[in-house]
Amino acid sequence: MAHVRLFKHFLPYPIIALTVIEAGLLYASLIIGHTLRFRLFGDVPWDAPLLLNPMLVPSAAVYMLLMLLCTMALGVYSAGLRGGNGPMAIRTVVAYCLLGTSALTVIYYLFPPLYMGRGVLFYATLVALCLVVPVRWFFLRLVDAESLRSRVLIFGAGENARRLAEELGAGHAGVAKVVAFVQSSESEPVFVTHDLRSRTGTLLEMAQKLDISEIVVALDDRRAGQGNAFPLNELFECKLHGIRVSDAIGLCERELGVVSLAEISPSWLVFSSGFTSGEFGLMVKRACDIIVSLVLLLLTWPLMALAIVLIFCESGRPILYRQQRTGLEGKPFQILKFRSMVTNAEKDGAAIWAQKNDSRITRVGAFLRNTRIDELPQLWNVLRGDMSIVGPRPERPEFIQGLITELPYYNERHHVKPGLMGWAQLNYPYGASVEDAAQKLRYDLYYVKNKSLMLDLIIMVQTVQVILLGMGVR
pLDDT band at 107 (very low <50, low <70, confident <90, very high): confident
**Do 180 and 196 form a contact (C-beta atoms < 8 A)?**
yes
Q: What angle do CA 325, 327, 332 make, to 5 degrees?
A: 55
369/224: higher pLDDT: 369
64 φ, ψ to 5°? -60, -50
> Which residues have C-beta within 8 Å of that of residue 61, sequence separation ≥ 6?
27
Mean pLDDT in residue range 365-376? 87
CA-based nearest residue to 24, from 79, 61, 72, 70? 61
Mean pLDDT in residue range 304-322? 89
**49 preceded by a cis bond (ω within 30 of 0):** no
> Which residues have C-beta within 8 Å of that of residue 303, sequence separation ≥ 6?
371, 373, 376
426/52: higher pLDDT: 426
Helix 101-110 with 118-142: angle, nearest 10 deg? 140
**pTM of the model as a whole:** 0.78
Torsional sign, CA 256, 257, 262, 266: positive
pLDDT at 224 over 50: no
**What does the radius of gyration of the chain's CA atoms come to, in whole angstroms?**
26
Q: What is the pLDDT of residues 165-216, one digit of tens each?
A: 888 876 565 677 888 999 887 778 888 888 888 888 889 999 999 989 899 9
Maximum pairwise Cα distance, the chain: 84
Secondary structure of 238-267 in HEC code, one letter for each residue: HHHCCCEEEEHHHHHHHHHCCCCHHHCCHH
Strand order in the sheet with 151-155: 196-197, 177-182, 151-155, 214-217, 244-247
CATH architecture for the domain at 149-256: 3-Layer(aba) Sandwich (3.40)
CA distance 382 to 387: 5
CA distance 390 to 188: 43
Burial of 22 (0-12, 13-18, 19+ CB in 10 A): buried
Query: Around Cβ 271, how many Cβ atoms within 10 Å?
Result: 8
Helix 56-73 with 101-110: angle, nearest 10 deg? 140
278 — alpha (psi -120 to 50), left (phi > 0) or beta? beta
What is the percent of the chain where pLDDT is above 90?
A: 20
Q: Hey, where are the domains in the chain?
A: 3-143, 149-256, 279-343+353-469
358/383: higher pLDDT: 383
pLDDT band at 38 (very low <50, low <70, confident <90, very high): confident
pLDDT band at 228 (very low <50, low <70, confident <90, very high): very low
pLDDT at 470 over 70: no
Q: Per DSSP, what are the bridge partners of residue 177? A: 151
pLDDT at 82 over 60: no
Looking at residue 227, what is its pLDDT?
Answer: 44
